Structure 1
Amino acid sequence: MKKTKQLLVMLLLSASSLALAGCLKNQPESTLIDETVAAESLADSVYINGAVYTVNTAQPSAQAIAVQGNKIVFVGTTEHVNQYIGKNTQVVDLQGRTLMPGFHDVHIHPLESASASTQFTLDEQQSDPEYFIADIANASANFANTPWLIGYGHTINTILNTTRSPLDILDEAESNRPVIIMEQTSHSMWVNSKALQLAQLNDDSADPIGGVLGRDQLGHLNGVLYDNAGNLVMQQALAALGNSAQNEYLGLVEYTLPEFAKYGITSISDARSYWQRDQQKVWLRAEQEHKLTVRANLGLWAYPELSDEKQLKQLAALYQNDPTKLVKINQIKLYSDGILTNTTAAMHEPYQIDLLGLYGNKGLNYFSQERIAKYIKALEPIGFDFHMHGIGDRAISEALNAVEMASKGLARHRITHVEVVDPEDYKRFLTLNVTADAQVAGEFTNPEYWSENSELIGDERSDHLVPIKSLSDAGARLTLSSDWSVSHFNPFLGLHNALNRAPEAITLDQAIRAYTINGAYTMRQEQLVGSIEVGKLADFVVLDRDIRTTPISQIKQTKIDITVFDGEVIYQR
């Protein structure tokens, strides 16, 4: 990867490259300054005539910026940026388009979502799992020599609404080799009899902590493993393949990072880094080999089944927070609960349908309130911030309680998903300095789909799901993220839905801040990136329009024209 100045000089020498995104041009001599007088002040690149969305309250907007090396050295008017232009300065005429900070996606699964370890994908729109038999059989033939067959796709409702046992269907597709298929939310796995056998699971097996073994009405295993019960078997499957790290690395550098650049994402938080599988080493390798085009904070996965004494010691040993590095291992990802659709989200009041036979029918906990507090007390002083999965109202209350019990105010903890929130807890996010991280890029989070949860939790609790406006009104710091691959990481889908989901819609400025400076805060890098300010690193994007004048009904049509990361152009449309 070439440095920006080298790239831009080469572009100047090429007549065919005099237009960067259709607007690159040399400036007339009358606009140049005497380089012998102030050569050190000349910029490598200058962007003029734009609608610069700074996300800086002290200077909300500007027309132009100048970049020298990897830093922004000027933010202001087109007229005054001329002092930074020399004969080798690349000038980009924005022609009224928006230039803004690069996007932060602070809850995303880059390694899992693009790994070739997933050998096939089912159509999640298919409502009859009997039709999956041919697809699974074909995949088995295509990957005949792998010890496990690993797939992804389908929804839990599709599996549960079948008239035949899910176990029988999968056994018909493949009976000689273990098969495991992750449901599209990742909160359940569909397995065949061979997989159950290798995992040493049978009708007499007890549910693991944070998980449930799916059963039929007679108590026999039905091939569905909920939450951590499925995670444990997936770990076994990936370990058997033996090449998951290489698959994850190739998926990251060959697909994911170029796609992030295409969508203007310059910082991410890996929301579930499986350190027992050495996933952190995949990120460190990418940085060492100079492949990274994002700043990445890793959230080390807290395994519910491990002993606290062993796990806390190992997590502490993995902490890395070198400010000169792109990769930082400084977050802990733990689950308080599961999800609504399979009734594992932890609720204050019982579900209206008893799907899993859980005690009290109020969902489950991966980590109890007391155990979360124990981990915060042990790891916060080291420097870890906690990234806590909380979907049900009880899970969110318990996570907030744990912070209140154990935090010394040193950390920047956050609760992600925040789907069903007790209104009594809205203000506690502000009081406890806990960030509310929400995902609204998926259409299923829009108000027109809220009623689909009514049969599980009733109309009242189904109303105002993912209450981003209510939380913002209560003073909570809000971040928006994708949870890819549950939803696509295109930030303009998230922006669009955030602005168009009344009665829980927020303003454009609130949504942009949630994707930029607020995300930078949760990653402890708001002094470096997240806004367009002099002295900050040059992580920014150029859009194909002025987003402030675009009707909110058209926000999702926005495209990225240019992405700049650390002063280097990494994408141009």
Structure 2
Amino acid sequence: MIITLTAAALSCTLSGCAEPPLMTEELQSIATQHAEQVFSNAAIYTVTKSHPWAQAMAIKNGKIMYVGSMDGIQPYIGDNTRVHDLKGKMILPGLHDVHIHPLESASDATHFTVSQYDTVAGYQDALVRAATEHPNAKWLIGYGHNIDTLLELAIPPKMLIDEVIANRPVVIMEQTSHSMWVNTKALELANIHAQSRDPVGGVIGRDELGDTDGILYDNAGNIVMDLAMQAQGDEKLKNYDGFVEYTQPTLLKHGITSISDARVYWQRGQLDTWQQLQADGALQVRVSLGLWAYPQANDERQIRALKSMYNVTPDSMLKIDQIKFYMDGILINTTAAMKAPYHIDLLARSENRGLNYFTQARLEKYLKALEPSGFDFNIHAIGDRGVHEALNAISTASNGKARHRLTHVEVIDPSDYKKFAELGVIADAQVAGEFAQPSHWQEMQSLLGRKRAGSLVPIKGLLDHGAMLTLSSDWNVSTLNPFVGIANAISRQPEAISLAQAIAAYTINAAYAMRQDDIVGSLEAGKQADFIILQNNLFELTAEEIKATKVEQTWVNGKRRN
């Protein structure tokens, strides 16, 4: 279906009837000067309610001076003003991704990627190649397998590795990051054996006899990956290089000007990497960090450490102002926290309802301790019980001034929809991955039953109940291309939303979540000049055409960055 402008909006776009609001004295003073750059003859979607469309924009010293009509732009054009005639191209505010993993997803600290194989030989050939290519790695670290495929093979997962790599520890992250596949040597170094108890927020996979099988679910796997990365000793440098050489240019290529790192492993030096990027002047996108709350940590010591790391400096591209909390795991591992038991259980637990990384009571403790420092919480909650408990904790312990968000929100009890708006909790969802599309919902019926699998990631239902919605990628679980997310969001019936709602979720709503809606997220006089230029007007494209959209230019602080 073609998505078109309303007659009124189209008329304003063509005639330039949208004028800016009255300017403050400060802005009136700025207006007496000529602009450095003027963008004219454009379809400017400002993402403001009062004046959503404009034709021209002026910028100077990294800020927007004026957004409005072609007639209104004339006083801003001087002899040294560079005027860009966009010939009808679209301008949008810079896009945000408030849930992304920008360091680990492009880092060479991970040595190899495992494809999906149907045979033991396929996996073992890949493992031998990796071991040969990285002979000096203390731990061999991989990524990318699918746990379902692995468990279907007629050999215990750890033995599959042991047969070809026995004397060196191996850890391989499953593509969702919620389980690790390890060999016997890795288990030995982590002191995990048949008599070991499951750690907080994790499960040790076992065979029919109770011995370890080589799969470590959720936090059990995180603990081992921490050991592996610390043993390598070079994660910080490789994370730095991966961000500068690949991640940041790719973000800017796709029009993303602000991000939230959704899981900063500060005990592994990832905070040091971000601070070094800032110190070196290497950041060209705005970054907010979500410090990882370690489930196995002593609460009092961890809270003190987190408080000491808070840092928000005016005009800095880096803010340390969020906490990343996990309430639960994920659906396909049967570790997402559910109100009713799973129909199929991978964890060999009676009446399995998933697991908790943190209980509601512990979350309340952290909220009370860290909100006064200025922290907002980015809370991973996938199952209906995880969502419910997170909302309960916020209701009980929050001061009402924070901008907490629940991310993923895949299964929600409909009775909890209204609580997001009531509590001021932001709903953050990822729909860029094909697995989130309604055509794949039936794949969850064997785990959840028809009813619970019938409305996954209910973004329309949340909006209908007044929730503020942000959309993000969770890259590299899904593509970081925001136009794929926008296209999927407006076409995923029966949970489709409007194009205007999807754009708001990537701009002004996301800026609000990052506490920077006062400076970016919409195109208004006085705000920073973060914006992108597109060849075509999204409102005139089909969903498939939006998915293929290319960004021609990305500007941050009034400087072109691609």
Q: Is TM more than 0.5 here?
A: yes
Amino acid at match of 1:58: S
Provide the secondary structure at the position in 2 that maps to 1:334.
strand
Change (3 A) 1:527 1:38: closer
Distance 1:357 1:557, change over 3 A: same
1:341 matched to 2:332: yes
The residue that corresponds to 2:136 in the other structure is 145
Q: CA offset at residue 130 of structure 1?
A: 3.8
What displacement does 1:127 show?
Answer: 4.0
Shift of 1:360: 3.3
Structure 1 window deviating more from structure 2 (54-63 vs 353-362): it is: 353-362
Q: Name the SS of the counterpart of 1:360 in structure 2.
A: coil
List runs of 5+ in structure 2 lacking aligned partners: 1-28
Q: In structure 1, how many angstroms separate the alpha carbons of the residues matched to 2:231 and 2:362?
A: 31
The answer to whether residue 523 in structure 2 is matched with residue 554 in structure 1 is no
What SS class does the counterpart of residue 51 from structure 2 fall into? coil
Total equivalences in the alignment: 534
RMSD: 1.3
Q: Is 2:166–2:184's contact at 8 Å kept on the other side of the alignment?
A: yes
1:50 to 37, 42, 53: 42
Aligned ranges 1:380-399 → 2 under 5 Å: 380-399=371-390
Q: Which residue of 2 aligns with 1:182?
A: 173
Distance 1:39 1:304 in 2: 53
Distance 1:39 1:335 in 2: 48
Quote the residue 1:255 is aligned against. Answer: 246
CA 435–39 in structure 1, closer or farther in 2 if over 3 Å, else same: closer
User: In the alignment, what sits opposite 1:412?
Assistant: 403
Contact 1:358 1:364 in 2 (8 A): no
Q: What residue is the counterpart of 1:7 in the other structure?
A: none
- Partner amino acid, structure 1, of 2:465: A
Which residue of the partner structure matches residue 459 of structure 2?
468
Q: Which amino acid aligns with 2:111?
A: Q
SS across alignment from 1:208: coil
Query: Does residue 366 of structure 2 align to residue 375 of structure 1?
Result: yes
In 2, Cα distance between equivalents of 1:471 and 1:269:
22
In structure 2, give the amino acid aligned to 1:78: M
Q: What are the residue-to-residue correspondences of 1:235-314 with 2, within 5 Å?
A: 235-314=226-305
- Aligned match for 1:530, one of 508, 521, 532: 521
Corresponding letter in the other structure for 1:194: K
Tell me whether 1:82 sits opposite 2:74 in the alignment: yes
SS in 2 for 1:110: coil
Amino acid at match of 1:100: L
Please say if residues 129 and 158 of structure 1, whose CA atoms lie closer than 8 Å, have aligned partners that are also in contact: no
Question: Cα–Cα, structure 1 residues 128 and 516, in superposed 2: closer, same or farther, change >3 Å?
Answer: farther
Range moving further from structure 2, 393-402 or 78-87: 78-87
Q: Which amino acid aligns with 1:315?
A: L
> The residue matched to 1:152 in structure 2 has which SS?
strand
Residue number among 95, 99, 113 corresponding to 2:105 in the alignment: 113
Cα distance in 2 for residues equivalent to 1:130 and 1:204? 31
Measure how far apart 1:553 and its partner are.
3.1
1:357, CA displacement in angstroms?
2.2
Give the corresponding residue for 1:135: 126
CA contact under 8 A between 1:55 and 1:531: conserved in structure 2? yes
1:99 pairs with 75, 91, 104, which one? 91
Identity %: 54
Q: Give the C-alpha shift of residue 129 in structure 1.
A: 4.9
Give the distance between the partners of 1:40 and 1:121, measured in 2 at CA. 57
Is 1:458–2:446 an aligned residue pair?
no
- C-alpha distance after superposition, 1:115-171 (max 9, x if no partner): 1101101124x3445411111111101100110000100111111111111111111
Alignment deviations for residues 242-270 of structure 1 (CA, whole Å, 9 cap, x no partner):
01000101011111111111001000000
Deviation at 1:359, TM superposition (A): 5.3
Distance in 2 between residues matched to 1:457 and 1:280, nearest whole Å: 38
User: What is the CA distance between 1:40 and its match in structure 2?
Assistant: 5.7
CA deviation after TM superposition for structure 1 residue 324, in Å: 2.1
Q: State the one-letter code of the partner of 1:369.
A: Q
For residues 224-248 of structure 1, what are the alpha-carbon distances to aligned partners after superposition, in whole Å with 9 as ceiling and x for unaligned?
A: 0000000000000000000100010
Conserved? CA contact 2:31–2:76, under 8 Å: no
Q: Determine the C-alpha separation between the residues in 1 that align with 2:560 and 2:394.
A: 41
Matched residue, 1:6: none
Q: Aligned partners of 2:348 and 2:299: how far apart in 1?
A: 28
User: Cα offset for 1:363?
Assistant: 0.1
1:77-121 Cα shifts (integer Å, max 9, x gaps)? 123212212222222122111101011100000011011101101
Deviation at 1:424, TM superposition (A): 0.4
Q: Partner of 1:428 in structure 2?
A: 419
Q: Given that residues 338 and 364 in structure 1 are in contact (C-alpha distance below 8 angstroms), is that contact kept between their aligned partners in structure 2?
A: yes
Quote the Cα distance in structure 2 between the aligned partners of 1:409 and 1:196: 44
1:448 has 2:456 as partner: no
Give the corresponding residue for 2:26.
none
Match of 1:208 among 182, 199, 206: 199
Structure 1 ranges of 4+ moved more than 2 A: 37-40, 126-130, 357-360
Residue pair 1:64, 1:76 contacting (<8 A) in 2 also? yes
SS in structure 2 of the partner of residue 377 of structure 1: helix
Measured in 1, the distance between the counterparts of 2:413 and 2:31 equals: 59
Counterpart of 1:324, as a letter, is D
Judge which range, 83-92 or 230-239, deviates more: 83-92
Residue by residue, what CA displacement relative to the aligned partner does 1:256-309 show, whole Å, maximum 9, x if unpaired?
111111001000000001111221121111111111111111000000000101
Once residues 94 and 425 of structure 1 are traced to their aligned partners in structure 2, the CA distance between those partners, rounded to angstroms, is 46
Q: How does 1:150-189 map to 2 (within 5 A)?
A: 150-189=141-180
Shift in Å, 1:351: 0.4
CA 1:69–1:392: 2 relative to 1, 3 Å: same
> Which is worse superposed, 167-176 or 366-375?
167-176
Range moving further from structure 2, 85-94 or 337-346:
85-94
Letter in 2 for 1:109: H
Residue of structure 1 in register with 2:3 after alignment: none
Aligned partner letter, 2:315: T
Q: 1:226 aligns with which of 217, 222, 226?
A: 217
> Could you state the TM-score of these two structures normalised by the residue count of structure 2?
0.94
Structure 1 counterpart of 2:499: 508
What is the aligned counterpart of 1:197 among 165, 188, 209?
188
- The CA distance in 2 between the partners of 1:143 and 1:357, in whole Å, is 36
User: Which residue of 344, 347, 350 maps to 1:353?
Assistant: 344
Report the AA paired with residue 57 of structure 2.
Answer: I
Aligned in 2, Cα 1:38/1:325: closer, same or farther, shift over 3 Å?
Answer: closer
Partner of 2:485: 494
Partner of 2:469: 478
CA distance in 2, matches of 1:413, 1:261: 26
Work out the CA distance in 1 between the residues paired with 2:539 and 2:381.
Answer: 33
